[in-house]
Structure 1
Amino acid sequence: MTYDAEATRQRIFEAATAEFAANGLAGARIDRIATAARANKQAIYLYFGGKEKLFGAVVRAKLDEICHAVTLDPHTLPEAVGQLHDWYHEHPELVRLLLWEALEAGSGPVEGEDERARSYRGHVDGLLAAGLPDRPTAQDWLFTILGLVAWNFAVPQIRRLILDEPDPERAVARRREVVVELARVLAEQGAGAVSRP
C-alpha cells in the first residue's frame, strides 16, 4: 500500500479544523490532531510547519471557501446575504475559529495577515466596481455585512434569549429573513448613493 500524502494532509486539515474550532489555538493539541487524522505528529510539522501555521492555514482555507461560495454585489445583495447566512449556518466552525483568533491575537497581527488583507481588498474592489461610490463606503459595507450575518452564529445563546424561540432552526430561519431584508434596505440606500450626482 502506497502512502498518499494528499489524503494525509486533508485528514490533518479536517482534524485541525475541528480541534481549533473546539479549543482555539492555545488549547489545541497536536497529539489530538494527529490521532484524529490517523497521522503522526511529524507529518503535521512537515506539511504545515507547526501549530500556529496550521491554525493560520485552517482559517485562511475556511475564509477562501466562503469567498468562493458567495459574491457580494450591491445589485444582488439580499440574495448574496442569504447565501452567506446559509453558508455560516452550515459551517459554524469559521465563526468559532475567528472568535478564537480574536481572543488570542487581540488587535495584533494574525497568521497570513497580508494575504488575508489582500483578499478583503479584492472584495472591496469588487464592490467599487459594482458601483459603490468610494473605498470607505465599500469597506464599511463589507464589514457591516459580515458582522450582520456572522453575529447570528457567534452568539447563539443571545439569539435564543432575545428571540425567545425554543426551536433553534426556526430562530435561524427568522434571523435569515431579517438579515436579508436589512440587506435589501442597505442595497437600496447604496443604489441611491450611486445614482446621486
Structure 2
Amino acid sequence: MSYDADATRRRIFEAAADEFAERGLAGARIERIATAARANKQAIYLYFGNKQQLFGAVLKAKMEEVCHEGPLDPHAMGESVGQLFDWYHEHPELVRLLMWEALELSPDEPLAADERRRTYRAYASEMTEGGYAAGEPDEDARIRAAQDWLFTVLGLVAWNFCVPQMRALVLDEPDAKAALARRREVVVQTVKALAAAR
C-alpha cells in the first residue's frame, strides 16, 4: 500500500483543528495531533512547520471556509446575515480559534495578517460595488463605511457563539435551540433595520 501524502495532510489538519479549538495554541500538543491523525510528528513539521505555523494554517483555512459563503449582499442583508449566523453555528471551532488567537498572540501581529486583511478589503470592495455606502463622497469613504459595517455585522453574529453561557443567562431561555433561534431572528432584524437606516 502506497503512502498517501494528501490524506495524511488532511488527517493532520483535522486533528490540529480539533486540538487547537479545544486547547488553544499554548495548550495544544503536537504529540496528540500526531496520534489523532495517525501520523508521525516529522510529517507535521514537514507539511506545516512549527506549532504556530500549523495553528496559522488551520485558522486561515477556517476563515477561507466562511469567506467562501460569499460576501454580505447589500441588497439582501437579512438573508446574508442569517446564512452567516447559521455557518457560525455549524462551525463553532472558528470562534474558538479566533478567541484563542486573541488570548494568546499579540494583537499587533495576527497570524497571516496580510492575507486576511486582503480578504476583508475584497469583501468591502464587493459591498461597495454592490451599492453599499453609495452616498459617501469618494471611494475611500465608501470602503471605510463598508469595513465598519462588516466588522459590526461580524460582531453581532459572532458574539452569540463567543459567550454561550452569557447568552443562556441573559435570555433566561431553558431551551438552547429556542434561544439560538431567538438570537438569529433578532440579529437578522437588527441588521435589516440598520441597513434600511443607511
TM-score normalised to structure 2 length: 0.94
CA deviations on 1:118-172 (whole Å, 9 max, x unpaired) are 1111011111111122122101100000000000000000000000011111111
Structure 1 residue matching 2:117: 3-state secondary structure: helix
Aligned to 1:76: 76
**Contact 1:77–1:187 (CA under 8 A) maintained in structure 2:** yes
Q: Point out 4+ residue stretches in structure 1 off by more than 2 angstroms.
A: none
Aligned to 1:193: none
Aligned to 2:113: 113
Amino acid corresponding to residue 70 of structure 2 in structure 1: V
Amino acid corresponding to residue 182 of structure 2 in structure 1: R
Gaps of 5+ in 2: 134-141
Aligned to 2:13: 13
Q: Distance in 2 between matches of 1:48 and 1:110?
A: 18
Gaps of 5+ in 1: 191-197
Q: How many residues align?
A: 190
Q: CA deviation at 1:177?
A: 0.4
Q: Distance in 2 between matches of 1:70 and 1:144?
A: 17
Q: CA deviation at 1:106?
A: 3.7
Q: Distance in 1 between matches of 2:197 and 2:46?
A: 50
Q: CA deviation at 1:74?
A: 1.2
Match of 1:167 among 175, 182, 198: 175
Amino acid corresponding to residue 72 of structure 1 in structure 2: L
**Contact 1:73–1:130 (CA under 8 A) maintained in structure 2:** yes
Structure 1 residue matching 2:47: 3-state secondary structure: helix
Q: CA deviation at 1:183?
A: 1.3
Q: Distance in 2 between matches of 1:116 and 1:71?
A: 14
Amino acid corresponding to residue 146 of structure 1 in structure 2: L
- Is 1:154 the counterpart of 2:155? The answer is no
**Contact 1:75–1:187 (CA under 8 A) maintained in structure 2:** no
Match of 2:191 among 183, 186, 196: 183
CA deviations on 1:21-63 (whole Å, 9 max, x unpaired) are 0011111000000000000000000000111111001011001
- Is 1:90 the counterpart of 2:90? The answer is yes
Structure 2 residue matching 1:75: 3-state secondary structure: coil
Q: Distance in 1 between matches of 2:63 and 2:104?
A: 18
Aligned to 1:143: 151
Q: Distance in 2 between matches of 1:42 and 1:88?
A: 33
Aligned to 1:37: 37
Structure 2 residue matching 1:69: 3-state secondary structure: coil
Amino acid corresponding to residue 53 of structure 2 in structure 1: K
- What do you get for the CA RMSD once the two structures are aligned? 0.9
**Contact 2:59–2:94 (CA under 8 A) maintained in structure 1:** yes
Aligned to 1:127: 127
